[in-house]
Structure 1
């Protein structure tokens, strides 16, 4: 696997001898990927050859004692010396209660043996349908010692989606959280479902309904007791790297979700690769770290982060299940690593800006603080002991517990302003990653010491990336632009019962075609610039990619959510906008979204600021919305408008707002 340095990157390193010598990190950041020999211009991490060598695209792990997900807890136990593993808050106002690695290992084994006692066997699929909590991890970790497969079900899914996934995977047993979710899986009960394990108590009415429908009910702790009682009867049946670890359903932006078959070796490669990225920082990930768990564990991104924590002996603290009270959980947990999505970062940022706007003095101080610390950030200096930290940013730091050294943003693009703000405010690394369920949430990730924003970093160590032509949109690989394709040991080999759909996205050479359009920057990092599959033509013949426009408009302070659409019979775009209530706190004190949307003065303000944001981010005239409709109801998965990971279901949005679009 011979490699050459990217010509564009190489050129940047051959300056005059009179230039001052560059630091080691500057040299690393200016050449973050290399191009392999051949016409396809395949990029891989500058670390790939050194770390993986010639075994690329085969089985790969970073540690000899980590070959399957069975090893997560066992290695974590050794690394942490039986330290804190999983934490939860029993009630509001209470501190975190912790289970050690030994306790988690023992309880998960008991749960797995309890399932064997109930009749489950090797290779059986087990559904997990609840919010992030201790029992979620106990259930999944209890499956791996007996070579069973975890099937995470998004806790926000309604009966229809849950029924589809249980039926397609032929799941006979589901672990659910509460009475409401038991009723969901019984509405109607899939024929294959025989056993429901509930974590919390359920009503007598629900219990009778389950019995009538032929489903047996067991309490979670009851199953653990079975396992403890019959410990010697059910020896472990450890999985191999090629066995199925997880059946992870996609969040489904259109049509039914697809069951992504993830083998142990896929996730092991993804975890190993990301741990190498973390190790490029001063600290890496280690047993002293604490991670807050609130993003859905049914999403491969959150699963990846938490598995990285377990294998390094770090601690995971769960939120209490209410996102509105997340900041209270964070205050008690005081995490060091903060995995999140841009939507949450936007919310914190908006709150800071809103409070500063109430006073001219506060606003001036905030602007001066950001300007001063931005200069330091661009020089690679991250700290929280400056005068600006004391005067301005300490409240933001304390709101997140005061110990965060790494923020990880994924699931959607984050704006440049937001990323730079958090580097300044928290004085910490802010990583932005890119991946898909089919790649175990791994593809590329920014370097922990990266000083520039606006890209998603170099290829992960286990990943090769190439760009292919999208001629209908004017993107050509010879110009370092095109559809992003990835391959490596982290890429899955099939969908469950959907071979034709899998062949549509993965070719004969194992390249997964993502549908995202990217661009290589001179230092070998990847920038997402468009979306291939979602574009339409306006009446004047211009093609429009709405997702890119929505990403730009999401930077507008006045916008919480936006959907952009255009009819082929019209020459302009329209937008459905949910206003950002924080932006109107001062002008509309005490008013809700309905009042704000009814105010005739609000619409022109938002439209004007959308136009300004569009111009600042190089949107062309025909890409700017010319009219908007204000919506007082946030887009939600309950309405069927977004996925559990907050992505718009475009076909459903079009149907739901067809009157507003046509008017």
Structure 2
């Protein structure tokens, strides 16, 4: 036989065999647990929940110190140099700030540990007393982690607050927790000054140094009674006047994490050191390939449990963490000066975390770019994508071996370069990721995307898809720190006796389940339970089903289900996930009224796609807002939604009968979505109450 053919087909045969083995592999197994009856599953490798994987380590500061000693000379925290800020003016007269950023400056693990110890001592020298709390109110950056770990070395509970939080929620978070010290960034300092008269307990503010801080600083010193000190000064003070560590125990509260509040004011979730460590340890047991050669790009909010847990895992594994931001992530990001490089291009990360909304935008951006090129480039992309998809789906006639390498080089190399070209694994969490997006990113990046499922209340721990699991739409088997069970929800028609898979409300138990909500016993008792064996359980409100191999799939959410006038149930989240694939849609919120027989939708329009359509039809318009108000535009977008709905096999009553097309995006700053880009349904409903009322008039 021709040696070339042997070389081509042997890898193919082995790949198909391996795929068959993977499909049959048990990842979770049923188990008997206490508490409310249900269908419970644990990770097949562990009979009891994992709490720590490091001997003698029971808290986060102990884990941090352990890694700093073990990887002392390796890079830990990297930050980009700011070379220049420039202002660009668009043709319509709007101004945009553009940044020229340089290379990464690094702190080694030993240097980072020294900075942490200095900051901890500096806090004491500033007068921060034992028992008082510190709030961190800033975008993600190296100083955020240094402040966090510094507080932990003094057994100080840290209150985490989203940088995008509105004034009311910000005041509520700081006053409820009686914070005495706030660590903030320059733009957050301005927000604090604006509400200084409403803050009851703040005594001192530590600002992270920036050349733009001078104006806010002079204003703060005249308008507030606070002691205001720079981050560098606190470190210097602590370095010159060291104080012994006062380390916590596992049961001490490490973090009070305020959710971004998809409904009403945010709730503070109390996480112990043991909670955080159990999640970190569990992830370490199932992704052992992560190590000190890996580079992680950090850009999601550290005030979100997903990023906090992910960075803790990176530290435990000895990885390097390079900091960026969503606005400087790629070469074409909004704040990157044209002709200069984004964070991913400069850093070349091997690991990243993303929320589904960001991955959806990456997918849409690539597709739009390919469609815009057209011709041979589009044909090559479509053929390459189809060939790789066939291979991943197990076809013998897909692109394997040398053909795979060829398509990777010719077609997908440029796509991978967007994120630095070195990504070997990506984690998606924070919300369900559509199977279409997961497969698209997987093929284009040439790296597996692991879906995780967890909540702030479970310290991000719940389930996690295995590295070798090539399926899509699922969130994996239970993490080794968790038991997951389903309980009946008869009102929604979900039962653990359903065939072919048990279905029901997801309940998570284990050492990662947090202590409850700060100063909110009523809500804590409602969703947290302790069984007769002492295990703590959290009732998520999410609906899931277990596949035969023990992997979980999220299929619904109790709060997102509305019963229409004639008795049909509409799952808002499920329908939105199906409709957002329309190229004309940037974001969408479905609305259903129980007193009517149909649903409607608020649709945030995708500018480029709609403007391209308008130009192709010869439609004239002065601005995008005017275009969105035109009847023919609304009809075109509605038709695309109907098409997407039919492709997803939605029922007729699930397809929005009428839509409102919106020209302005929903951002965390507008208060209409959370920092993880989840819809704030009640806030959006109130903001567009008049438009929604017209739909039913």
Q: Tell me the TM-score normalised to structure 2 length.
A: 0.86
Q: Deviations over 1:299-336 (max 9, x none)?
A: 00001111100111101111157353477111001100
Q: Contact 1:336/1:404 (CA < 8 Å) preserved in 2?
A: yes
Structure 2 equivalent of residue 531 of structure 1: 557
Residue 322 of structure 1 pairs with residue 327 of structure 2: yes
Q: Is the 8 A contact 2:51 2:282 kept in 1?
A: no
CA shift for structure 1 position 593:
3.9
What pairs with 1:593-604 in structure 2 (closer than 5 Å)? 593-604=624-635
Alignment of 1:582-597 (within 5 A): 582-584=608-610, 586-588=612-614, 593-597=624-628
Relative to structure 1, the CA distance from residue 650 to residue 25 in structure 2 (aligned partners, 3 Å threshold; closer, same or farther) is: same
Q: Quick one: which of 246, 249, 252 aligns to 1:237?
A: 246
For 1:427, which of 441, 446, 455 is the aligned residue? 446
Paired residue for 1:3?
Answer: none
Aligned to 1:292: 297
**How far has the Cα of 1:86 moved from its partner?**
0.5
Conserved? CA contact 1:85–1:99, under 8 Å: yes
| DSSP-derived class of the 2:39 partner | coil
The separation in 2 between residues aligned to 1:103 and 1:423, in whole angstroms, is 36
- Could you tell me how far apart the structure 2 residues matched to 1:521 and 1:154 are? 36
Are 2:244 and 1:253 aligned? no
1:350 aligns with 2:364: yes
Q: Secondary structure at the match of 1:95?
A: strand
Distance 1:580 1:622, change over 3 A: same
Name the residue aligned to 1:632. 663
Q: Deviations over 1:507-541 (max 9, x none)?
A: 23222110111111222211111111233232223
* Deviation (angstroms), 1:615: 2.3
One of 474, 488, 495 as aligned partner of 2:510: 488
Is residue 35 of structure 1 aligned with residue 30 of structure 2?
Answer: yes
Bigger Cα displacement from structure 2, 628-637 vs 22-31: 22-31
Matched-pair contact (CA < 8 Å) for 1:34–1:45:
yes
| CA distance, structure 1, for counterparts of residue 245 and residue 72 of structure 2 | 23
Q: What TM-score do you get using the length of structure 1 for normalisation? A: 0.90
Distance 2:161 2:139 in 1: 10
Q: CA RMSD in A?
A: 2.4
Aligned partner of 1:613 among 617, 623, 644: 644
After superposition, what is the alpha-carbon deviation per residue over 1:235-259, rounded to whole angstroms, capped at 9, x for unaligned? 1111111111111111211122111
Shift of 1:186: 4.7
Say whether the 8 Å CA contact 1:432–1:456 is kept in structure 2: yes
Q: Alignment partner for residue 588 of structure 2, among 532, 540, 562?
A: 562
Q: Distance in 2 between matches of 1:204 and 1:391?
A: 51
SS of residue matched to 2:81: coil
Cα deviation per residue 1:564-586 (whole Å; 9 max; x = unaligned)? 11223322111000122343364
Tell me the distance in 1 between the aligned counterparts of 2:623 and 2:42.
49
CA-to-partner distance for each residue in 1:3-62, whole Å, 9 max, x for gaps?
xxxxxxxxxxxxxxxxx996498257532110014763210111122xxx4xx3xx7201
Check the 8 A contact 1:596/1:602 in 2, yes or no. Answer: yes
The aligned runs of 1:296-445 (5 Å cut-off) are: 296-319=301-324, 322-323=327-328, 324-325=334-335, 328-358=342-372, 359-379=374-394, 386-445=405-464
What's the CA shift for 1:182?
A: 3.8
How does 1:69-88 map onto structure 2 within 5 Å? 69-88=60-79
Aligned length: 631
Distance 1:506 1:310 in 2: 30
Q: Which moved more, 1:393-402 or 1:181-190?
A: 181-190
Q: Does the Cα contact within 8 Å between 2:72 and 2:110 map onto a contact in 1?
A: no
* Partner in structure 1 of residue 331 of structure 2: none
Task: Give the aligned partner of residue 657 of structure 1.
Answer: 688
Which SS does the other structure have where 1:112 is aligned? helix
**1:425-455: per-residue Cα shift (whole Å, max 9, x none)?**
1111111111100111111111111111011
Aligned residue number for residue 196 of structure 1: 205
| 1:538-558 CA distance string (max 9 Å, x none) | 222323221221122223232
Distance between the aligned counterparts of 2:382 and 2:434, measured in 1?
18
Alpha-carbon spacing, 1:174–1:528, altered in 2? closer, same or farther (3 Å): same
Equivalence for 1:17: none
Q: Displacement, 1:196?
A: 0.7
